[in-house]
C-alpha cells in the first residue's frame, strides 16, 4: 500500500512531473492542473490549513474508512466529491505542481515529526497523520493512474 512518506516522496514527484498540460485522462473530468489543485486542497486539509466541515457519519468514521483505505479498490470515475473540492485552476500546471510539491514536503516533514497528531477529515473524522499518509498515498496514486502515470 502506497503512503506519502519520506521514502515515497521522490517517486510521487517523479510521477507528477510526467504529467503534461495535454496529458489525456483515462477517466473523470479533471484536467491535469485541476487534478493537482484538487490534491493541493486535500493536502492543505491534512495540514490543518483548511476547514474540515463534517460530512461523514458513524459508518464512514469507523468501518468505511478502513474498507476504503485498506480493502476496496477505488472505482474509476465513480467517486463524486463536492464541487468545492474540484476547482478549476487559474494558473499553469507547473505552478500548481510547484505548490503541491511544497505542500507535500511540509506534510512529509510534519508527519515524520508528529505521526500521532490528529487532523480531521470531512468524511472520515479524526485521522492521525500516519493515517493521512495512507490517505494521500492511495489518493495520489488514484489520480496519477487517471493520467496513466
Q: Provide the CB-side half-sphere exposure for 127 (13 A, CA).
A: 28
Grid coordinates representing 97 are 505542481
% of the chain beyond a pLDDT of 70: 97
% of the chain beyond a pLDDT of 90: 77
* Assigned domain for 44 exists: yes
Work out the pLDDT band at 136, boundaries 50, 70, 90. very high
* Assigned domain for 25 exists: no
* Confidence check: pLDDT of 16 > 80: yes
Query: What pLDDT does 71 receive?
Result: 86
> Which domain covers residue 59, as residue numbers?
32-76+85-146
* Assigned domain for 142 exists: yes
Q: Rounded CA gap, 82 and 84, in Å?
A: 5
Query: What pLDDT does 86 receive?
Result: 82
* Assigned domain for 124 exists: yes
Of residues 1 and 138, more confidence is placed in 138
Query: What pLDDT does 78 receive?
Result: 66
pTM of the model: 0.92
* Confidence check: pLDDT of 2 > 70: yes
* Confidence check: pLDDT of 32 > 90: yes
| Number of domains within the chain | 1
For 69-123, write each residue's pLDDT tens digit. Answer: 888 888 787 677 767 778 899 999 999 999 999 999 999 999 999 999 999 999 9
Query: What pLDDT does 53 receive?
Result: 83
Query: What pLDDT does 76 receive?
Result: 81
What is the rounded average pLDDT of the residues 30-53? 95
Phi, psi of 72 (to 5 degrees): -80, 140
* Assigned domain for 43 exists: yes
* Assigned domain for 11 exists: no
Grid coordinates representing 4 are 506519502
Return the sign of the alpha-carbon dihedral for residues 58, 40, 133, 50: negative
* Assigned domain for 118 exists: yes
Amino acid at each position: 500500500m502506497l503512503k506519502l512518506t519520506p521514502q515515497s516522496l521522490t517517486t510521487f514527484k517523479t510521477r507528477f512531473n510526467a504529467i503534461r498540460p495535454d496529458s489525456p485522462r483515462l477517466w473523470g473530468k479533471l484536467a491535469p492542473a485541476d487534478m493537482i489543485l484538487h490534491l493541493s486542497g486535500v493536502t492543505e486539509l491534512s495540514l490543518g490549513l483548511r476547514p474540515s466541515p463534517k460530512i461523514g457519519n458513524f459508518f464512514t468514521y469507523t468501518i468505511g474508512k478502513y474498507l476504503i483505505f485498506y480493502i476496496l479498490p477505488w472505482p474509476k470515475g465513480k467517486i463524486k466529491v463536492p464541487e468545492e473540492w474540484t476547482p478549476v485552476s487559474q494558473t499553469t500546471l507547473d505552478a500548481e505542481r510547484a505548490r503541491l510539491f511544497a505542500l507535500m514536503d511540509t506534510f512529509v516533514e510534519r508527519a515524520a515529526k508528529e505521526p500521532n497528531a490528529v487532523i480531521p477529515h470531512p468524511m472520515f473524522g479524526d485521522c492521525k497523520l500516519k493515517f493521512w499518509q495512507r490517505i494521500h498515498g492511495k489518493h495520489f496514486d488514484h489520480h496519477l493512474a487517471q493520467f496513466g502515470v
